[in-house]
Amino acid sequence: METSNAKVIPFDRSLVTVQGTEEAMRPFGPFLDDSPLYFPVESRSVCINDAEGLPRSASGFQAIVRTDTNAVLGIHGRAYKVVPNEPLFRGFDEALQTSDLDLSGLQIEDHVNYGGRRVIRNYRFPTITAEPRIGDIVELRISVINSFDSGNAFAAQVGGMRLWCLNGAVSLQGSTSVYGRHTSGFDNARALTKINEAIERYLVAALDWSEWSQRELTPLQAQTALEAFPDLNPTLLQRLEQAWTIESNNAGSTVWALYNAATRWSTHTPVRQSSEPNRASIVLDRERRVRQFMHSRAFKKLAA
């Protein structure tokens, strides 16, 4: 694949960190050398107390430790290979630069959550957009996730950012594993394949969004669909109903508005103050529930 001839924004080494978190947003320069994601990790032996309270080595297990904080990020079997975030994310950055994607204006957001057990890098592509309705623009967003606690393979998840309300747009297809569980190296060719798959999924999602914007609903249909939302409770239903009112006033009583009611909930519903540093992961988990909703019989019936 040939190198993209996209316009390159002048190099900018500034890195702005959000106070009280390990998150950052920076412009595409070339990609920067520094990131809060690039913390050191190592494997250490695991000890447990026996019946007499004496420490014994758990020979079949290892602890993954973040050495700058001494925090344990996960416990794994001996077959697990420790790969720091830096080579994984640098490899994905390089794969993006090798791809045919237009990187003009690319924005990158880094999130370190749960003390480093999960990290997320969001790429927003302002030159790659969909327009389901006139003036309703959705930018491509690729989220790359890694974890040391068995929560995620190193994976890329395709979605979007709706500019009218900054809702995170969710695709039906979800995430694509870059190369599965931790391995000893980064496969650039596989990453390029997965980037192309992500773009294909975005294009499919864009067609869905456009069709949904034309598909009208009755109030009863919308209410019935919202009541099929996974793990529903009265408070969640009330939030979804409020989001539906806002979205349907903007986009009409349509499947597109129903979908955006769900993404408004996942993106904008407050989290507890103590959980704010982990907000990116919480939103990601909410988006999984939105995807479940999109696969529900009630939603599919309206979207078909």
Check whether 17 has a pLDDT greater than 70. Answer: no
| Predicted pLDDT of residue 223 | 97
Mean pLDDT taken over the chain: 83
Q: How confident is the model at residue 78 (pLDDT cuts 50, 70, 90)?
A: confident
Between CA 46 and CA 60 the distance in angstroms is: 9
Say what the alpha-carbon torsion angle 159, 303, 230, 112 is, to the nearest 10 degrees: 0
Between CA 215 and CA 259 the distance in angstroms is: 12
Between CA 115 and CA 67 the distance in angstroms is: 12
Q: How confident is the model at residue 73 (pLDDT cuts 50, 70, 90)?
A: very high
Check whether 51 has a pLDDT greater than 50. Answer: yes
- DSSP string across 141-166: EEEEEEESSSS--SEEEEEEEETTTT
Check whether 27 has a pLDDT greater than 50. Answer: no
Average pLDDT over residues 297-303: 95
Among 152, 77, 140, 82, CA closest to 111: 152
| Predicted pLDDT of residue 170 | 67
Between CA 278 and CA 286 the distance in angstroms is: 13
User: Per the structure block, which two tokens stand in for 297?
Assistant: 């019989």
- Residues 255-281 have pLDDT tens digits of 999 999 999 999 999 999 999 999 999
Choose between 50 and 291: higher pLDDT.
291
Beta bridge pairs of residue 154: none
Amino acid at 74: G
Between CA 193 and CA 143 the distance in angstroms is: 16
Between CA 113 and CA 120 the distance in angstroms is: 8
| Predicted pLDDT of residue 164 | 66
The residue count of the chain comes to: 304
pTM: 0.82
| Predicted pLDDT of residue 191 | 79
Check whether 166 has a pLDDT greater than 80. Answer: no
End-to-end CA distance of the chain: 37
Average pLDDT over residues 17-42: 66
Q: Which residues contact 55 (CB under 8 A, 6 or more apart)?
A: 47, 48, 49
Q: How confident is the model at residue 7 (pLDDT cuts 50, 70, 90)?
A: very low
- Residues 228-259 have pLDDT tens digits of 999 999 999 999 999 999 999 999 999 999 99
| Predicted pLDDT of residue 14 | 34
Helix (H/G/I), strand (E/B), else coil: 169: strand
